[in-house]
């Protein structure tokens, strides 16, 4: 679900590369048909429309087997500041869409789900900003709250209907596939790295550092940046884990290292000059979010292999090559 979007498309590429058969359902609201791997089957549909979901399951159902081994969910709205002004839309898409997906899975006897959740469920974590999976979830924006509600729904449904889940809490995802065939498209850009690179490429006059009075070493927010290809590979491991172990899992996906906005800009400056100024804090931004990624490492054998420089250089190369400016 949502396999034509930024993260979904990268996960589909890795699933196909690992030899899996993939069907993508997407309403193309933020994704693009061009982002779907040519070896994956594409079906247009909206996760908020039960009939759309049923049609995909019916169309893919074979007489001798359940239609799908695993459903992977990427079909979320995910922009923190947008969620602050559109909470109803965020709950409708991110919770009601998941409810309908789970109901359809139960109807068609599909018992494994890999779910994209987010570090935003942690809110402002107590302590030093390092999040482990049992850090109490306390979201401070509607985006994080809607994803936590969906996580909880998945847990209840898994108990009631004998379903296994792999919930991944993503930290700050960036970069593009090494093929440069897919990446983060130019519309809907709000995230730090692509915004900074757009400013560097002269497509914005400047970019703004949103707050430099946070309780962090240089006053700017600290985040854990993870390359989209590393993240996508974790989904292959997660899906295979569900099929092999028949047990559920909750795991952070982050590099385990925090970078401030200032540090990210310094890294970007190694590739391109980024004109920037300083402005007010953005509502809903926690000061620091960094992952403990021990669970993903030990249970799945997952290991991030690409660093912040790789994220910046691949995003820049994708923007230049695809004119996703």
Question: Catalytic residues, which ones?
Answer: 143
First to last CA, the chain: 26
Write b or e for each residue in 41-61: b if 16 or more Cβ atoms lie within 10 A of its Cβ, otherwise e.
ebeebbbbeeebbbbbbeebe
Which residues contact ligand UFG by CB under 6 A? Answer: 78, 80, 118-120, 171-172, 190-192, 195, 207-210, 221, 223, 261, 282, 285, 289
What does DSSP say about strands 41-44 and 249-253: parallel, antiparallel, or unpaired? unpaired
Closest approach, Cβ 43 to ligand UFG, in A, equals 26
Q: How far apart are CA 62 and CA 148, in angstroms?
A: 34
Query: At closest approach, how far in Å is the CB of 38 from ligand UFG?
Result: 28
Q: Which two tokens stand for residue 312?
A: 């910046």
Query: 261-269 and 308-322 helices cross at what angle (nearest 10)?
Result: 60
CA distance 259 to 225: 7
DSSP state of 227: E
Question: Shortest Cβ distance from residue 231 to ligand UFG (Å)?
Answer: 12
Q: Cβ distance 81 to 192 under 8 Å? A: no
Integer angstrom CA distances of residue 174 from 143, 166, 194, 255? 19, 22, 8, 12
CB nearest ligand UFG: which residue? Answer: 221
Whose Cβ is closer to ligand UFG: residue 13's or residue 171's? 171
DSSP label of 133: T
| Residue whose CB is less far from ligand UFG, 10 or 111 | 10
Name the burial class of residue 74, with classes exposed (0-12), middle (13-18) and buried (19+) by CB atoms within 10 angstroms of its CB: buried
Minimum distance, C-beta of residue 150 to ligand UFG, in the bound complex (Å): 13
Q: Is 62 exposed, middle or buried (0-12, 13-18, 19+ CB in 10 A)?
A: exposed
Cβ distance to ligand UFG smaller for residue 105 or 120: 120
Choose between 78 and 100: whose C-beta lies nearer to ligand UFG: 78
Burial of 142 (0-12, 13-18, 19+ CB in 10 A): buried
The DSSP secondary-structure symbol of 256 reads S
- Min dist CB 117 to ligand UFG, Å, is 9
The residue (of 49 and 126) whose beta carbon lies closer to ligand UFG is 126
Shortest distance, position 7 Cβ to ligand UFG, whole Å: 10
Q: How far is the CB of 154 from ligand UFG (least distance, A)?
A: 17
The H or E element containing residue 225 is: strand 225-227
């Amino acid at each position: 679900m949502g396999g034509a979007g930024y993260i979904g498309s990268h996960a589909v590429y890795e699933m196909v590369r690992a030899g899996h058969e993939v069907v993508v359902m997407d309403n193309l609201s933020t994704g693009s048909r061009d982002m779907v791997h040519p070896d994956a089957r594409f079906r247009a549909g909206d996760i908020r429309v039960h009939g759309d979901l049923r049609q995909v399951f019916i169309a893919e159902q074979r007489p001798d087997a359940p239609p799908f081994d695993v459903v992977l969910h990427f079909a979320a709205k995910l922009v923190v500041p947008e969620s602050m002004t559109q909470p109803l839309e965020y709950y409708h898409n991110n919770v009601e869409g998941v409810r309908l997906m789970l109901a359809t899975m139960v109807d068609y006897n599909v018992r494994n789900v890999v779910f994209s959740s987010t570090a935003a469920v942690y809110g402002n974590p107590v302590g030093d900003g390092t999040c482990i999976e049992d850090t109490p979830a306390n979201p401070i924006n509607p985006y994080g709250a809607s994803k936590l509600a969906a996580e909880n729904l998945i847990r209840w449904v898994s108990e009631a209907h004998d379903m296994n889940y792999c919930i991944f809490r993503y930290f700050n995802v960036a970069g593009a596939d090494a093929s440069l065939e897919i990446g983060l498209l130019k519309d809907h850009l709000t995230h730090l790295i692509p915004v900074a690179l757009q400013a560097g490429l002269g497509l914005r006059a400047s970019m703004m550092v949103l707050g430099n009075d946070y309780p962090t070493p240089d006053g700017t927010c600290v985040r854990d940046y993870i390359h989209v290809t590393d993240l996508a590979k974790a989904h292959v491991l997660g899906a295979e884990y569900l099929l092999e172990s028949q047990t559920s899992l909750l795991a952070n996906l982050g590099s385990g290292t925090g970078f401030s906005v200032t540090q990210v800009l310094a890294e970007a400056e190694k590739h391109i000059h980024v004109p920037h100024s300083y402005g007010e804090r953005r509502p809903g931004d926690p000061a620091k979010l960094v992952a403990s990624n021990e669970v993903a490492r030990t249970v799945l054998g997952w290991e991030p292999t690409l660093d912040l420089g790789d994220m910046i250089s691949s995003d820049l190369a994708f923007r230049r090559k695809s004119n996703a400016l």
